[in-house]
Amino acid sequence: MDNLLIVDDNEDVLTQLKWGLASESFNLHFAKNVDEALAQFRKVQPGVVTLDLGLPPHTDSSVEGFRCLVEMLKAGTSAKIIVITGNDERENALNAIKTGAYDFFRKPIDLDELRVIVRRAFHLHAIEREGRERGGANAAPLEDCGIVGSCRAMRNILALIDKVAASDVPILISGESGTGKELVARAIHAKSLRRKGPMVSINCGAIPENLLESEFFGHEKGAFTGAVSTVQGKVEYADNGTLFLDEIGELPVNLQVKILRFLQEMVIQRVGGRKDITVNVRIIAATNVDIPRAIEAGQFREDLYYRISVVNIHLPPLRERGEDVRMIADHFLRRISSEVGKELTGFTPEALAFLESYTWPGNIRELENKVRRAVVLANSSRVSAEDLGFGTGNGQDDSFLLTDKTLKEARAMIEKKMVLAALTKFEGNIVKASEALGISRPTMYDLLKKHEIEN
């Protein structure tokens, strides 16, 4: 079991944390000054430390805290140190982060928010420890790639990323739009032996079909009208690195044959050229399409499917990730508020209730958009439900949440209301309504069918 070291000279705070964190799955250890803290640090080798910068003696409120921080960092362990400061000590907190602290938290302590930060810290510590044990100490930590989450499904996925990253086997990442498929692809590249090489992305569904072949393989001068010079394709640019084929389920059938030949031989020819060009790339593909069903419908080649899917990674939708919703929302809040220069400390209880009950048809992308909106609109230190676009502040009647409906029924009602509101706003335009909700058109059609909405 992991160890958490709590360093604070305030008895009330120690009591609060001892009581508030007692149910967590880690051992608690306490210290009231620097000497005790360093002794405990060496003895129990904690994975996470919460460190009050205002330790005695108080000739300067942060000197002792910083001394303790520096000594812990010198020890060379992977412990994640979370510094705790007063509300008027933001500069000290930022200096602590620059020194090497993992994160900071301001008093008065909100136990729910602190639990999320501590769990994330332990999660990252565990990932880094496993990576070191497997010899991947030089690879990027997964959180640096933007992956946040600790539910069982994500833990399994993170473990799988570590296992497959060092090999060159082709990987197919599947999941609904907005679930983070490209983040997983970038994490695999960042932890692979090719991480010093390029990662080049091609969105197979966003490029007109008549331009796709040139986008993949490049073209020679004079190959077609407008080809005024020789141009390398994305495959060549990815040489000695990773080629990410996003939305490969949208790839036209006639181009699938040429992609299959390239994958089999790692040889290409530019459009209009005759020279074989050998390349060395690792293939990662992603799709929100049910490819086995597409194969049955004659829309995707079975041999290409088996070529790209030596390893399959399926990302769960956000609605199935439980407490990860709050963890990811907290991650976005801290990152985006820092980007725009606002000091936001968390979410109101009502906002958290909506975050946890909503079904997130647009998944992580929709959550990020809502948090970004909230950061811009928030007028207080905590984000409200109205800031997120929920609640009575946007004219919606949410009184049904107080009835005897089940959580599943309440989620479905919120989802249906938002779909109807988007369709009404954009006069039935599926494309604009989908974009506003942060979901793909196929997902929108699925929701229309699910809720029996005629358009």
Per-domain residue ranges for the chain?
2-133, 142-316, 319-450
How far, in Å, CA of 283 to CA of 301, rounded?
17
Examine domains 2-133 and 142-316 and report if their fold is the same: yes
> What is the tens place of the pLDDT at every residue in 42-83?
999 999 999 988 888 754 567 888 888 888 888 767 788 998
- Sort strands 242-246 and 231-232 into parallel, antiparallel or unpaired: unpaired
pLDDT of the residue at 137: 42
- Nearest by Cα to 186 from 243, 236, 131: 243
Q: Does domain 142-316 have CATH number 3.40.50.300?
A: yes
Fold designation for 2-133: Rossmann fold (3.40.50)
Q: Which CATH architecture has domain 319-450?
A: Orthogonal Bundle (1.10)
| Residue stretches of the chain with pLDDT short of 50 | 59, 135-141, 392-404
- Nearest by Cα to 142 from 117, 167, 119, 159: 159
> What is the tens place of the pLDDT at every residue in 365-415?
999 999 999 999 998 888 998 899 885 444 344 444 444 456 666 677 778
> Which pTM was predicted?
0.59
Note whether 270 and 233 are within 8 A (CB): yes
Residue written as token pair 């100490």: 137
How far, in Å, CA of 257 to CA of 316, rounded?
30
Residue 286 burial by Cβ neighbours in a 10 Å radius (0-12, 13-18, 19+): buried
* Structure-block tokens of residue 446: 């699925």
pLDDT of the residue at 136: 45
Which residues, other chains included, contact 333 with Cβ-Cβ below 8 Å and sequence gap of 6+?
344, 346, 347, 371, 374, 375, 383
* Structure-block tokens of residue 412: 């479905």
Strand partners, 48: 4, 80
